[in-house]
């Protein structure tokens, strides 16, 4: 009952603007819930049995019969809640109509609409509603690097087919998603939401996104479709915005270090595969050296955008490497690039200051964290 200590069956405060809710004011209801909206008091006349069936908090609250009270309306007790009328209406909609939680797939507004309902479900310990909402948010976002690659390929194909399509309307919005992840400890979507935010300017605000048109950014030897995505930066404090900026810098620095330093170590110390037809040529490791030069130059060309995506760049370099004539040597370098991508993906929450894995260790990047 602790979470309901700020709720009470108490006399009304004499507020004049009292409005019965247009949807949840049933003649057969046996409890009236009264709470404030942004402009007035709203009352819901609903069924104790529905609330008690789903919530142990309400079940305990209604377990003790209440004596008659002057606050009663037509013989029905009034329960005053400190929650907003909008959040109460959302929760009641979920309890009376489970299909209300069937949010459209990947809709950018889902985290905003679902947050109030989830906050109520947590407060009143309604676990099924919590699970449905969390699962829906998680399913809207890639939770693995392979799923991330699939989504990026889908975005690229969409942009190629329709250069002027505004993907803000058909993709989950990263600002609201990350706000949701922070508020409700939904760690599984942090990597995808943070990576998406890393490609969006702080000036690209969701509230002023109308009219934004996508274009193409020249990355040297490849044109990548670049969507002018926007984010709800207004959902974050100045301190959080600063943290995200630092996280973006860590993300880029670690990818640069992997290519300019860690790749050199691989080329220098890795045993040349016996399948390499040029293993005895001079200079030694000639295939590795050629591949390293190709990767370093390709990385530099592709990272020239204002907001580059290191994961996308490294994946394209994998494909470039796989086309090299020496299969044995290219396999070694491709394996390094693949491991680097997975390491960056796993480290994204840490880059952005989310300590979701207390024992997380990435040896070569620890000094960035």
Vertex 233, ends 40 and 223: CA angle to 5°?
A: 140
Are 64 and 42 contained in the same domain?
Answer: yes
Give yes or no for residue 125 having a pLDDT over 90: yes
CB-CB contact of 223 with 214 (8 Å) = no
Domain shared by 87 and 172, yes or no: no
pLDDT given at position 53? 95
pLDDT at 31: 95
Q: What is the pLDDT of residue 211?
A: 39
What mean pLDDT comes out for the span 295-307? 90
On whether both 245 and 350 belong to a single domain, the answer is yes
Residues 244 and 335 in one domain: yes
Q: Considering the domain boundaries, does residue 126 fall inside one? A: no
- Note whether 43 and 85 are same-domain residues: yes
> Per-residue pLDDT tens for 185-213?
999 999 999 999 998 988 888 888 753 44
* Top-confidence residue, 116 or 269: 116
**Residue of 286, 278, 288, 366 lying closest to 332 (CA atoms):** 288
For 17-65, the pLDDT digits (tens) are 789 999 999 999 999 999 988 788 999 999 999 999 999 999 999 998 8
Q: pLDDT tens for residues 65-107?
A: 888 888 889 899 999 999 999 999 999 999 999 899 999 999 9
Per-residue confidence band for 215, with pLDDT thresholds at 50, 70 and 90: very low
Alpha helix ranges (H) inside the chain? 48-54, 56-61, 85-96, 110-123, 127-140, 145-161, 174-184, 190-197, 238-257, 263-269, 286-302, 310-322, 327-351
How high does pLDDT run on average in the chain? 84
Residue 179 has a pLDDT of 95
Pairing of strands 41-46, 223-226: unpaired
Same-domain check for residues 265 and 318: yes
Inter-residue contact 41 to 35 (CB < 8 Å): yes
Q: Which residues pair with 42 in a beta bridge?
A: 19, 35
Q: How many CB atoms lie within 10 A of CB 146?
A: 10
Could you tell me if 361 and 243 lie in one domain?
Answer: yes
Residue 124 exposed, middle or buried by CB count within 10 Å (0-12, 13-18, 19+): buried
The whole-number pLDDT of residue 356 equals: 52
pLDDT of residue 268: 85
In a domain, 101, yes or no: no
Name the DSSP letter for residue 73. B
Give the chain's domain count.
3
Task: Please give the residue that has the higher pLDDT: either 316 or 358.
Answer: 316
Measured between alpha carbons, how far is 47 from 193 in angstroms, rounded to an integer? 39
Q: Please report where in the chains the tokens 């990576």 appear, as a residue.
A: 195
Same domain as 319, residue 267: yes
**Does residue 221 sit in the same domain as residue 252?**
no
Nearest to 181 by CA among 126, 121, 235: 235
Residue 298 lies in a domain: yes
- What is the Cα Rg of the chain in Å? 27
The residues, any chain, with a CB within 8 Å of residue 363's CB and separated by 6 or more, are none
Q: State residue 289's pLDDT score.
A: 84
Mean pLDDT of 310-321: 92
248 and 172 fall within a common domain = no
- Integer Cα distance of 123 and 294 in angstroms: 56
Give the domain-ending residue among 209, 235, 261: 235
Q: Are 210 and 245 found together in one domain?
A: no
CATH code for the domain in which residue 44 is found: 3.30.710
Residue 122 domain flag: no
Q: Which of 235, 253, 281 is the last residue of a domain?
A: 235
184 within a domain of the structure (yes/no) = yes
Cα 197 to the chain's mean position, in Å?
9
**Residue 267 domain-assigned?**
yes
42, 21 contact by CB (below 8 A): yes
Residue 124 lies in a domain: no
Residue 146 within any structural domain of the chain: yes
Dig out the tokens for 285 from the structure: 């490791």
**Is-cis flag, bond preceding 283, omega within 30?**
yes
Please give the pLDDT value at position 165.
72
Give yes or no for a contact between 349 and 252, defined as CB atoms under 8 angstroms apart: no
Asked if 194 and 352 touch (Cβ cutoff 8 Å), the reply is yes
Q: What pLDDT does 258 receive? A: 94
User: Pick from 211, 235, 259: which residue ends a domain?
Assistant: 235
Domain co-membership, 246 together with 341: yes
Among 42-56, 195-209, 221-235, 261-275, top mean pLDDT goes to: 42-56
Which range marks the domain in which residue 177 is found?
137-235
Phi, psi of 142 (to 5 degrees): -65, 135
Closest CA to 348 of 259, 243, 241, 251: 251
């Amino acid at each position: 009952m602790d979470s309901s200590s700020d709720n009470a069956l108490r006399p009304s405060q004499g507020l004049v603007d009292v409005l019965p809710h247009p949807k949840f004011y049933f003649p057969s209801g046996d409890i009236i819930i009264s709470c404030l909206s942004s402009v007035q008091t709203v009352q819901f006349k609903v069924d104790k049995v529905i609330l008690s069936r789903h919530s142990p908090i309400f079940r305990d609250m209604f377990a003790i019969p209440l004596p008659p009270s002057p606050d009663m309306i037509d013989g029905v007790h009034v329960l005053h809640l400190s929650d907003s009328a909008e959040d109460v209406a959302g929760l009641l909609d979920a309890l009376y109509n489970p299909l209300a939680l069937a949010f459209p797939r990947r809709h950018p507004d889902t985290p905003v609409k679902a947050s109030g309902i989830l906050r109520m479900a947590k407060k009143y310990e309604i676990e099924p509603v919590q699970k449905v909402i969390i699962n829906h948010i998680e399913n809207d976002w890639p939770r693995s690097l392979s799923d991330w690659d699939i989504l990026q390929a889908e975005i690229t194909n969409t942009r190629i087919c329709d250069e002027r399509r505004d993907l803000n309307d058909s993709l989950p919005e990263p600002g609201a998603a990350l706000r949701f992840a922070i508020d409700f400890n939904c760690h599984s979507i942090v990597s995808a939401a943070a990576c998406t935010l890393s490609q969006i300017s702080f000036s690209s605000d969701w509230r002023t996104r109308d009219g934004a048109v996508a274009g193409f950014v020249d990355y040297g030897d490849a044109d990548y479709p670049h969507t002018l995505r926007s984010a709800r930066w207004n959902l974050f404090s100045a301190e959080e915005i600063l943290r995200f900026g630092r996280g973006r810098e860590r993300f880029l620095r670690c990818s640069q270090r992997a290519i300019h330093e860690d790749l050199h170590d691989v080329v220098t110390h890795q045993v040349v595969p016996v399948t390499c037809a040029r293993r005895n040529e001079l200079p030694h490791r000639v295939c590795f050296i050629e591949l390293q030069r190709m990767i370093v130059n390709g990385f530099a060309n592709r990272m020239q955008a204002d907001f580059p995506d290191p994961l996308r760049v490294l994946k394209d370099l994998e494909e470039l490497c796989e086309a090299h004539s020496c299969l044995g040597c290219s396999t070694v370098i491709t394996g390094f690039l693949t491991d680097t991508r997975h390491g960056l993906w796993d480290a994204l929450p840490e880059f952005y200051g989310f300590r979701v894995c207390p024992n997380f260790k990435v040896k070569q990047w620890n000094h960035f964290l």
